[in-house]
Structure 1
Amino acid sequence: MEPDPRPAALDALGGFFVLRTGVPPHGPLPTLADAYAPRESGGPREVYRDPMTFRIRTVAEGIGAREVRVAASVAQQGLAARLWSVALGSAVLHDRVPDLDPELLRWDPGAGVGDDLWLTEVRHRPAGDLDAVVRAGHLVPLNAALHSRHGPAPGLLWGNAASALVSAARGIDRWASARGRRDLGERAGALAAGLLAHPDLAGALDPRTLRRRSCCLYYRVPGGGVCGDCCFDRPPRSTPSGGPADRPGG
């Protein structure tokens, strides 16, 4: 495969791998740096005064979540999946990653997958910078902002991030296997394993089964259940205070 470092070259892998570039055509959008910033720092003054809260409210309405921490968890896992997918896909296919500096990455908190992220300046970094680009550059400030503002436990949020990373690697593996490129799937798995060794992510999954040791709380959505990699075999009984069901990272 000839390397094509343009972000659009990842579109074939699926919606989570799509990264738009240039200036968003539908007006100014906040950056992800705006979304992570403390509320008192101001942030964008136009449509999205608090883009993170806007996203969480949008998610809550979409899934019918009654608890803000549940919507925050679902929103965080979706954003983590987008960032891991774009960076990991580029590292596997092109041996480089786009510089996803939060100041360069504009975010539409009301848009769906594939139309939410816009990279205003395309520049590249070595594949070895994957951890710095995603975990350190995004997940650390994202998780800190969500925990302080909306309550999800750090263990839950890092469990979401680890699960999203594994899902991205598996998506690449399926795509590669269908095209007879098992080497690319193996590279995705190797890179993901290296990333999961970081202390923030280590311990979030069972190393043998890659099953989570925490719960994303999706079972608390009306009609929701447990995910395929959940620490629970079946939805636990909810209690008014969250109860024992939330103890594994919730």
Structure 2
Amino acid sequence: MDARSLLADVAGFGPFFTLGSGSGERPLADAELVRDRIERVRGALRCAERVAASLAFQGFAAQLASAPYAAAVVHGAVPALGPATVWWTRAGDGGWTPRTNGTAVVGVDELPALLDGLLAPLVGAVRAQVPVAERLLWGNAASTVAAAKRLLVVQRPAAAGRAAEVAEAVLAHGRFAGTGELLPPRDPDLVWTFRRRSCCLYYRVPGGGLCDDCVRLPPPRSGPQGAATARQGSGLPDP
């Protein structure tokens, strides 16, 4: 299968797994687009700019990481996405959706480095707009990988082992490493549940709260600490 076929197939898992084919209107880390997304989030949630920047990036990461991750799990191949081949185009609701004009495919072992390289320019673009901690943003990226695992496994329980293996490889790689730990699974997770070592700041949104994987949640009261832990520790982001 080429990249277009892979992406068309995994789009069936849901909107976060939809990454279209063809060229778009704006390059991957376009400054104006990043500013537009941050302002849209800030206006919709009535939150501080730093909170909006964090949550805007989390949306970017989910849109970019979920489809190649699912392709790796389900098909054992990954669309060769990169900053030069991924574009954004306006959606019907005024937001932005990703597209790729690449057709090449690489092996599953390339996924961790591919996602690291794909998201790094957006981390830089967001931080150029708003002074938000780099480690916080990579924690957001790791959280989206764990969320993609959860969503995929809910629909394909038989793929739980493979889904956990692929996600674990990503979470141990490069700038993902150290962003969280793997704990015994909580429903609907299978194999393990991810707990991050930073906070996305959603609790600062009016009416917001803590995400299921937030470092601010009380730790489990009993039981082992999980099958694996990330290598490098990280505390809460600067207030």
TM-score of Structure 1 vs Structure 2, range by shorter chain: 0.7 to 0.9
How far apart, CA to CA, are the structure 2 residues paired with 1:51 and 1:94?
Answer: 32
TM score, norm. by length of structure 1: 0.76
Deviation at 1:17, TM superposition (A): 0.6
User: What SS does the corresponding residue of 1:174 show, helix, strand or coil?
Assistant: helix
Q: Distance in 1 between matches of 2:114 and 2:125?
A: 18
Partner residue in 2 for 1:244: none
Choose which of 106, 120, 130 in structure 2 pairs with 1:150. 130
Structure 1 residues 23 and 210, CA gap change in structure 2 (3 angstroms) = closer
**Structure-2 separation of matches of 1:127 and 1:175:** 21
**Residue 116 in structure 1 maps to residue 113 in structure 2:** no
- Which stretch shifts more, 101-110 or 164-173? 101-110
| Greater gyration radius | 1
TM-superposition CA deviations, 1:74-109 (whole Å, max 9, x none): 011111112221111111111111122222211136
User: What is the alpha-carbon distance in structure 2 between the residues aligned to residue 144 and residue 115 of structure 1?
Assistant: 19
Instruction: Measure the CA separation in 2 of the matches of 1:233 and 1:88.
Output: 27
Specify whether residues 185 and 111 from structure 1 end up closer, same or farther in structure 2 by C-alpha distance, changes over 3 A only: farther
Q: Who is 1:12 aligned against?
A: 12
What does residue range 165-244 of structure 1 map to in structure 2 within 5 Å? 165-177=145-157, 182=158, 184-208=159-183, 210-233=194-217
How many pairs align? 211
- Residue 64 of structure 2 contacts residue 98 of structure 2 at CA under 8 Å; is this kept in 1? no
- CA change 1:105–1:168 in 2 (3 A) is same
Distance 1:197 1:113 in 2: 35
Scaled by the length of structure 2, the TM-score of the pair is: 0.79
In structure 1, C-alpha distance between the alignment counterparts of 2:147 and 2:95, rounded to whole Å? 17
Superposed, 1:67-82 pairs within 5 Å as: 67-82=48-63
Q: State whether residues 17 and 82 of structure 1, in contact with CA within 8 Å, keep that contact through their aligned partners in structure 2.
A: yes
Q: 1:61 to 1:15 in 2, by over 3 A?
A: same
Q: Which string of whole-angstrom CA distances, capped at 9 and with x for unpartnered residues, describes residues 187-242 of structure 1?
A: 111011111112422221133252121110111111111111111139xxxxxxxx
Matching of residue 249 in structure 1 with residue 237 in structure 2: yes
Question: Any unmatched runs of 5+ in structure 2?
Answer: 184-192, 219-234
* Structure having the larger proportion of residues in strand: 2
Q: Distance in 1 between matches of 2:138 and 2:119?
A: 8
Match of 2:64 in 1: 83
Decide whether the 8 Å contact of 2:149 with 2:164 is kept in 1.
yes
Cα distance, 1:33 vs. partner? Answer: 4.3
Name the stretch that deviates more: 123-132 or 12-21. Answer: 123-132
Which runs of structure 2 are paired with 1:8-47 in the superposition (5 Å)? 8-23=8-23, 29-35=25-31
Cα shift readout 1:100-132 (whole Å, capped 9, x = no counterpart): 222221113666699611112322122211122
Partner of 1:163: 143
CA distance in 2 between counterparts of 1:122 and 1:113 reads 27
CA contact (8 A) 2:55 2:200 kept: yes
Separation of aligned partners in 1, 2:93 and 2:151: 19
